[in-house]
A and B are shown apart, each in its own frame.
Chain A
Amino acid sequence: MIFMREWKRNMKSLLVWIAVLGGLVLLTLSVFPQFAEQQKEMTKLIESLPKSMVKAFGMDQLNIGDLMGYYGVRVYMMTTLLGSIYAAILGANIVAKEESEKTIEFLLSKPLTRSRIITEKWLVVVVNIFALNAAAVLASFFGFHIAKGYEVSIKTFVLLTTATILLHVTFGAVAFLLSTMMRKTRNTLSISLGLVLVAYFLHVMAGISEDLEFLKYFTPFKYVDAAPIINNKQLEPLYVFIMAAVILFSVVMSYVVYKKKDIVV
């Protein structure tokens, strides 16, 4: 019941995000054929760019003239970053909103356990993240179709998508935990969004300079970096384990925190 209610309530924003992300993916992929034709000049252009910038976006390890490489550099950045922002906003809002808007008094007076509330709301977060990713995958396939004649490795694509979803669920779970701990969506939202943006910034910084490379351990964006996935055709098990652990911890803690919370509105 709560699931259906939250699903409907978040539908509008999901559709907007699908339209924006899907549109961007499609648009970016649809210009690939022209891009590939001018590849030679492009390669020259990339060579003329500052080394650090090329490195920051992983263009030194990926061949941007190849469709998968192009996807890894241009499209993957959008799906990972924008999707993470979406997941963070969704997770940060979904529990704290009830307290922020004082509707929790209504919900808590119903014959429900608090665990039930958490379960249904968490499911909504996960399902929405999957829905957004499904839309991005569809848009990508359309994009690949436009660029027919160029080679697409389905296995690599599946790996990249898996990594993206893991990343989104990780941010969603952390934001969700914050949402159960705090009372104001103002706070949960700004912290969650801050986390995503700082993580992304660290990822870029770690790419730029060798001295800052240690930063990569602190950002999940590094865990899902496109270049190693495309080049090695596998996800680094350690990174997958770390993300799974963060997700598990956050979700379990959400139950614990929410069960013990004094809810005063």
Chain B
Amino acid sequence: MNVVDIRQLTKMYKKNRGIEDITFSIEEGEIFGFIGPNGAGKSTTIRTLLNFIYPTSGSATIFGKDIVKDAKEIRQHVGYLPSEIHYYDDMKVIDLLTYSARFYKANEQRIKTLAERLDLDLHKKIEDLSFGNRKKVGIVQALLHEPKLLILDEPTNGLDPLMQNTFFELLFEERKKGATIFFSSHILSEVQKLCDRVAIIKEGKLVQVETVEHLTKKNLKYVTVVLEQGTQPDVHLDGVVKKEVKGNEITLLYKGDVKQLIHQLDRLPLKDVVISEPTLEDIFLHYYEK
């Protein structure tokens, strides 16, 4: 059975764009990515699923229960990590986590275990914490009651790479226990690393749902090549979608197999090369623009 089932979900705001006619579902045990540029409607979708806001039309179920009518029962088994963490400033980390655990009647022992893994000081006041440490509090808070569904809104935002790894490990452990994970991001590589499938959203509308494999096949790369002085800068490579020449420095947007790219680069009089992730906007521009 699908853990999350979204059918023609629409949320209109008076002023801002919301989401329109979103339909997709997430299977049990899946790590599902939700990707789109900032302001595309990722958070709106998540907030509608959690019933912070009411859908204008359409419907959705989580664990087969209606997101509006059965919000309370659903939340018992959902762990939510908001993109921006705001907690009660007068509380210490341990106070907040204990407060949170009591709502679920969760095992308070787990607070310590998780805090240790994430290297989080439980006895600091929340208002004294750095952005990254607040995020850790949020992570512990979301994982604490071993939820069946984790909803994470831009979870890695603010975590240093080392912590990201620990965090990903924790996620995989939860998945092994049977949890389903739904997380939003605007960073493609992160989604590629973790997810089984992704939904791509743009300007409030769902563009595509596909497997990560498929997405990776459509590999799009930014390539910056610096050539030896005095060489002919007019390079022709197969699979280049966009090219910009500045002296002996050439910036390319490459689409296709990475091996082929390296092969072709090998033949050039290279001085330096940088291969990096394209922006999401570029991906949309070259794949999903019709």
Q: How far is the CA of A111 from the CA of B74 in the complex (A)?
A: 7
Which residues of chain A come closer than 8 Å to B80, judged between CB atoms?
A: 105, 109
Q: How far is the CA of A9 from the CA of B88 in the complex (A)?
A: 10
Does A110 lie within 8 Å of B88, measured CB to CB? no
Which residues of chain B come closer than 8 Å to A101, judged between CB atoms?
A: 86, 88-89
Q: How many residues from A make CB contacts under 8 Å with B?
A: 19
Partner of A262, one of B52, B72, B102: B52
B195: min CB distance to chain A, Å = 22
Q: How far is the CA of A90 from the CA of B75 in the complex (A)?
A: 29
Q: How far is the CA of A105 from the CA of B141 in the complex (A)?
A: 12
Which residues of chain A come closer than 8 Å to B102, judged between CB atoms?
A: 1
Q: How far is the CA of A265 from the CA of B75 in the complex (A)?
A: 19
Which residues of chain B come closer than 8 Å to A108, judged between CB atoms?
A: 50-52
**Chain A: CB-nearest residue to B79:** A109
Does A110 lie within 8 Å of B53, measured CB to CB? no
Q: Is A5 part of the contact surface with B, judged by Cβ < 8 Å?
A: yes
Known A-B contacts A110-B100, A264-B47; the reply to A105 vs B54 at CB < 8 A is no
Which residues of chain A in 76-90 are interfacial with respect to chain B, using CB atoms and an 8 Å cutoff? none
Known A-B contacts A101-B86, A260-B54, A262-B53; the reply to A113 vs B47 at CB < 8 A is no
A263: min CB distance to chain B, Å = 5
A183: min CB distance to chain B, Å = 13
Which residues of chain A come closer than 8 Å to B288, judged between CB atoms?
A: none
Which residues of chain B come closer than 8 Å to A263, judged between CB atoms?
A: 52-53
Q: Is B87 part of the contact surface with A, judged by Cβ < 8 Å?
A: yes
B217: min CB distance to chain A, Å = 37
Q: Is A106 part of the contact surface with B, judged by Cβ < 8 Å?
A: yes
**Chain A: CB-nearest residue to B104:** A111
Known A-B contacts A111-B75, A264-B52, A264-B53; the reply to A106 vs B90 at CB < 8 A is no
B67: min CB distance to chain A, Å = 13
Please classify how large the interface on chain B is, using the bins under 10, 10 to 19, 20 to 34, 35 or more: 20 to 34
Does A111 lie within 8 Å of B73, measured CB to CB? yes
Known A-B contacts A110-B75, A112-B72; the reply to A102 vs B84 at CB < 8 A is yes
Q: Is B171 part of the contact surface with A, judged by Cβ < 8 Å?
A: no
Which residues of chain A in 100-122 are interfacial with respect to chain B, using CB atoms and an 8 Å cutoff? 101-103, 105-106, 108-113
Does B54 lie within 8 Å of A262, measured CB to CB? yes
Does B86 lie within 8 Å of A265, measured CB to CB? yes
Q: Is B165 part of the contact surface with A, judged by Cβ < 8 Å?
A: no
**Chain A: CB-nearest residue to B153:** A105
Known: A106-B100, A111-B72. 19 other contacts (CB 8 A): A5-B99, A9-B88, A9-B90, A101-B86, A101-B88, A105-B80, A106-B141, A109-B50, A109-B78, A109-B80, A110-B75, A110-B100, A111-B73, A112-B75, A113-B72, A262-B54, A263-B52, A264-B53, A265-B86
Binding site for A on B (CB under 8 A): 47, 50-54, 71-73, 75-76, 78, 80, 82, 84, 86-90, 99-100, 102-104, 141
Binding site for B on A (CB under 8 A): 1, 5, 9, 101-103, 105-106, 108-113, 260, 262-265
A-B contact pairs, 18 of them (CB 8 A): A1-B102, A5-B99, A101-B86, A101-B89, A103-B86, A103-B88, A106-B82, A108-B51, A109-B75, A109-B78, A109-B80, A110-B103, A111-B72, A111-B103, A260-B54, A262-B53, A264-B52, A264-B53
